[in-house]
Amino acid sequence: MIAEYERAQILERSRRGKRHRALQGQVSVLSGAPFGYRYKRKTDHSAAYYEIDERQAGIVRWVYELYTAKSHSIGAITRLLNERQIPTAKETGRWERSTVWAMLRNPAYKGTACFGKTRIAPRMRVTRPLRLRGGVAPRNSANHELPRTEWIEIPVPTIISEETFALANELLKPTRSMPRDARSRRAPCKDC
């Protein structure tokens, strides 16, 4: 019982410390640099910061251009990245749709990395894979996105303009709000 209490106290102190550093604008509280950036560790002379990786940043700009200016779908962008054998962040594996989707939603590229975007909470339902493993969900195993107003913004170097980011997010909205079957339906032609 005492060990559980100590564990809870340590977790709470860590959370408060990270939140305090995030409010001060320190990037060291973020889990890692997103694709397009390199994380530079703290030294005796400077705090930790993100540095733009120009090779990867060019790919980020190209993805945004394909999505906003050339109206490519996320799946089409993923196929192009894989066909051209553009390396992922870890230099191994293939690009996935979820990775491109997360890239288009990441506010760090417009110069504002965010801390505290999600909250860990108890899993609301037991999914089939979980049920097959024994049906027990680990405590606090589900991430829930918090409202944008609760995010803590940390300034980082910009890769794309704020207008391009806003346009990409505007284009992403309709697909999230429509039901899956409505997205797949095509509009009838004037002769139908």
Instruction: Tell which phi-psi region holds residue 175, choosing left (phi > 0), alpha (psi between -120 and 50) or beta.
Output: alpha
d(CA 78, CA 97): 6
The pLDDT tens digits for 104-150 are: 999 999 999 888 877 777 666 666 776 676 665 555 556 777 787 88
- Pairing relation of β-strands 142-145 and 49-52? unpaired
* Residues 85/104, Cβ–Cβ less than 8 Å: no
Output the pLDDT for position 178. 54
Each residue's pLDDT expressed in tens, for the chain with a length of 192 residues: 899 899 989 988 988 988 888 888 888 888 788 999 999 888 888 888 899 999 999 999 999 999 999 989 999 999 999 999 999 988 877 999 999 999 999 999 999 988 887 777 766 666 677 667 666 555 555 677 778 788 888 899 999 999 999 999 899 887 555 555 554 444 555 554
Q: Which amino acid, 60?
A: V
Residues in the chain: 192
pLDDT at 62: 96
Show contacts of 54-57: CB within 8 Å, 24+ apart: 56/89, 57/159
- pLDDT value of position 138: 57
